[in-house]
Amino acid sequence: MKKNEITKGLFLTVIAMMMSTILFAQGDKASRPSPPETASGKVGGATITITYSSPAVKGRKIFGELVPYDKVWRAGANEATIFETDKAIKVGGKAVPAGKYSLYMLPTAGEWTIIINSETGQWGIKRGGDTTRDPAKDVATTMVKPGKASEMNERLVYKVTSKGFSMAWDNTEVSVPVK
């Protein structure tokens, strides 16, 4: 009888620990320094949703330093940014079937490469600081010119409009045409 009660008590303790770990993990993302955000909107008949972590400037120089030029960036913080469309679209004239993708960017001083990649669910960077992007899984890439944002954006923000999507952070904005 005592052995049965000990086993039951141990089992309940393990279950309680697992549940508290799951509950803690759910609330953990919202308390990160770069909290999760979502941008969603319609382009033609397609609904596009971008799920990302939104870092802050915090007095730092962003593009060219925190986000180096000539190095692929996860287009946010923490996990790789997710780009999802419920219908086939064209990004910069390149076909992107309905589905869920990772969004990467390759910023340079003059032009940026926007990269839609079929692998999702990975952490945004490896231990050495390079992104987790596998170039063999790129679905579409397009070049865009960065511009000056209409206002300073302390936090990284994405917007989806009828013409495509944009990313603005600090004093920089990049608009990506979608059809």
CB 139 within 8 A of CB 171: no
Task: Encode pLDDT of 139-170 as tens digits.
Answer: 999 999 999 999 999 999 999 999 999 999 99
Residues 27 and 19: their CA atoms lie apart, in Å, by: 13
User: What pLDDT does residue 10 have?
Assistant: 63
- The owner of tokens 């308390």 is 31
pTM for the model stands at 0.81
Quickly state the pLDDT bin for 80 (edges 50, 70, 90). very high
Domain range list for the chain: 1-31, 34-177
**Residue ranges with strand state E in 31-146:** 36-43, 46-53, 81-85, 89-91, 94-96, 99-106, 112-117, 138-144
Quickly state the pLDDT bin for 23 (edges 50, 70, 90). very low
How large a percentage of the chain has pLDDT more than 70? 84
Closest CA to 43 of 165, 149, 155: 165
